[in-house]
Structure 1
Amino acid sequence: MKIFKYKIITAIICSLILVTFAYTGWCERKPMPTSPQEMGIWITYWDMQSGVDMFSDNREKYDNISYFAACFNDKNELFLPENLQQAQIFLHQRKIEPSHRYLTVVNDVVSRGKSKVKDIDVVDKVLDGAAARILHANSIIALAEENNCNGIDLDYEKVFKNKETAEKYIKFIKILHDKASVKGMKLRVILEPSVDFSAYDFPQGPQYIVMMYNLYGLHSGPGPKADFTFIEKTADRIRNLPAPVGIAFSNGGCLWSSNGKKIFISEKKAVHLADQYKAVVKYDEKSGDKYFSYKKNNIEYTVWYADKNTIEGWIKKADKLGLHNIVIWRMGDN
């Protein structure tokens, strides 16, 4: 009998300890960083005309625009594609440019008609040493100024896959922010959702925009670019970033074929394919995405895509989680 009572008392004590630790952990959960209410959009150099046309028709919906993107040449120098400059001129002449205009800078190397995307090597080179980091910051700011932009989107991807590159990048973010601030420029740092935000000491000052997409895509089999569970889990990790924060959603979708071919497609293209092949379009409750399949020349095709209602559902979900600053990838049809 005494042994039985001892076991009961021990069980109660253990339960109280577990409840205490759980409550303490809940209380210590970091709050969501400040996320100012704003809506932004990207326009790309390869889909400039349709992007500009769509932006002109929806100007009142957006607080800022980001021109995608400044790239590197084979001499590790930044340049802006000519047709993107034309987009800026067009919007400026029509007086429909928003007050906040960002220039996106990416670590793509474009030379002699060929491109290498998300190149870590070029980042290593331009950030190799304190002097190099200062020079690179100055070149980014100068390019933004030359092109009538008062903000910078720093979008160097895959850099956190290499520890040394990541350390250089964190130092560079601080330098670029400090120098941009002197010029009255805002800095946004675009981060992939795969980055372990808790593992790095991100500097205070810039706004951090986390991609809420690529859950499924060219790297995987069929599925949505984002779903509600993915949004919740990523949002919880965003708590480890300094304020202010924001997130990016991607419209359009992806096409997968049984022969291994995978391509990104726009919502317009997805709707056209569904109509062309009289496919039955279904709705996925876990993501809000639409999807369908069809067959052509003995090849099976599967398409998942986000439409207006999908994006609105994701934005509402993010809003409930305390994330009110949204950027949409991207404006255009192609």
Structure 2
Amino acid sequence: MEKKCMKKKCMKKKYRIKEYRIKVKWLYLVAIVLCMVGTTSCTKMKEKQKAGTENTGTENANVQESESSVVDIEDENKVSVWVTYWDTSGLLEELQVWKPYIKQINYFAAYFKEDRSLFVPKSTEETRESISRLFEDREFPTYLTIVNDQELEDGTSTLKSTDLLYSLFESEETMRKHSNDILQVTLDGGYDGIEIDYEAIRDDMVLWEKYLTFLHLLTKLTKEYNLSLRVLLEPSTPVDDIQFPEGIEYIMMCYNLYGYGTKPGPKANRDFLIELADKMKKVSNRRGYALATGGFDFSSDGTTAAVTLVEAMAVQSTEGDNIHRDEQSQCIVFTYTKQNMAHEVWYADGDTLRYWTKVLKEEGERNISIWRLGGTILK
């Protein structure tokens, strides 16, 4: 994009998002999912978006509509989505839009009390009940995600605790107990599968060895009860040094290339995705990739905050400057100043997700999951 189109005056004219919301309510996320599942639908949606922007007197711009080719994903490769226990406001409305394009819902999450007992938060149970009523005729499975987070008695939490994992994997007896606890909460909740999301292991090979032993035990148990099993992997997973158990679907988390504790940048870019696809080919033939919605707001004081698509667009519409699309990631980038503090925001929109999916498709990968619903539609 030419530099002259980066000028503030030009940007203010092109990105009047508030007007855009009023005229084309709901169309943005619909464009995301339709563009990910078929060319014809995407073309029709783009025509509607174009008509909407023409009605507001605004110009079509590269940041709002990419001219990149559409990713053609067949029906059997619809996306899996996560819903979280902490972000349920407006979730049912959001799911109504995503409904035709969902192949699986992952409920995030069950975690642990200070005494290491596993539990499912009440909000997760309530969300599942509400979604079950919405999807009475559902033809897709539901999974319960288990994370190595701990809620302490003083009300604080320990996230991604490897100390917790060491205690759970202390012996074969503790591993069996842990496997049975997972099985129990899964069956009690009526889920079709289990998803294990144990993070921060990094290059701790002692802990990896224990974890793999646990996965062997859990795999046998899930087969006995006809439950599916997914395991999430971080980009830091030392795949060259690990022999992963068979009978598991492995999902690579393709995000947070930049984020907390880093300089400003995208959650993912082309090189990052290709590198992770190469890694996953060493893991299993049953593999997939998680792409992330939203982005991060990087402040000049060194702090970083996660933002949803809606939150990012709201700030962009009122305060955004230097708005452009990053070439390597196809993320939208803009800056703003608040209380004398400079901010730089990087976030993914529909074109970004479509581009990331396209990159993975070119690598022969088609199994896509979306982290996460919540703040992905304009109201």
State whether residues 62 and 98 of structure 1, in contact with CA within 8 Å, keep that contact through their aligned partners in structure 2.
no
Q: How does 1:131-280 map to 2 (within 5 A)?
A: 131-280=173-322
Tell me the TM-score normalized by structure 1: 0.87
Does residue 75 of the first structure (1) align with residue 115 of the second (2)? yes
State whether residues 274 and 280 of structure 1, in contact with CA within 8 Å, keep that contact through their aligned partners in structure 2.
no
Change (3 A) 1:139 1:281: same
What is the aligned partner in structure 1 of residue 152 from structure 2?
111
Between stretches 107-116 and 72-81, larger displacement belongs to: 107-116
> Given residue 119 of structure 2, which amino acid in structure 1 is its aligned partner?
F
Distance 2:147 2:168 in 1: 13
> Given residue 211 of structure 1, which amino acid in structure 2 is its aligned partner?
M
Deviation at 1:265, TM superposition (A): 0.4
What is the aligned partner in structure 2 of residue 7 from structure 1?
none
SS at match of 1:165: helix
Between stretches 37-46 and 302-311, larger displacement belongs to: 37-46
Between stretches 270-279 and 91-100, larger displacement belongs to: 91-100
What is the aligned partner in structure 1 of residue 102 from structure 2?
62
Distance 2:322 2:242 in 1: 46
Tell me the TM-score normalized by structure 2: 0.76
Deviation at 1:319, TM superposition (A): 1.2
Does residue 50 of the first structure (1) align with residue 90 of the second (2)? yes
> Given residue 107 of structure 1, which amino acid in structure 2 is its aligned partner?
N
What is the aligned partner in structure 1 of residue 329 from structure 2?
287
Distance 2:178 2:202 in 1: 19
SS at match of 1:214: coil
Deviations 1:174-221 (A, max 9, x none): 111110111111100000011111110111110000011110001301
Distance 1:51 1:238 in 2: 31
SS at match of 2:175: helix
Deviations 1:5-46 (A, max 9, x none): xxxxxxxxxxxxxxxxxxxxxxxxxxxxxxx83410000000
What is the aligned partner in structure 2 of residue 86 from structure 1?
126
State whether residues 204 and 243 of structure 1, in contact with CA within 8 Å, keep that contact through their aligned partners in structure 2.
no
Deviations 1:24-81 (A, max 9, x none): xxxxxxxxxxxx8341000000002333331122111110000000010001011111
Consecutive unaligned residues of structure 1, counting only runs of 5 or more, are: 1-35
SS at match of 1:143: helix
Distance 2:80 2:88 in 1: 16
Distance 2:305 2:356 in 1: 23
Deviation at 1:267, TM superposition (A): 0.8
Q: What count of residue pairs does the alignment treat as equivalent? A: 299
The percent of aligned pairs where both chains have the same amino acid is: 31
Please tell me whether Structure 1 or Structure 2 has the larger radius of gyration of its CA atoms: 1
Distance 2:330 2:206 in 1: 39
Distance 1:65 1:225 in 2: 22
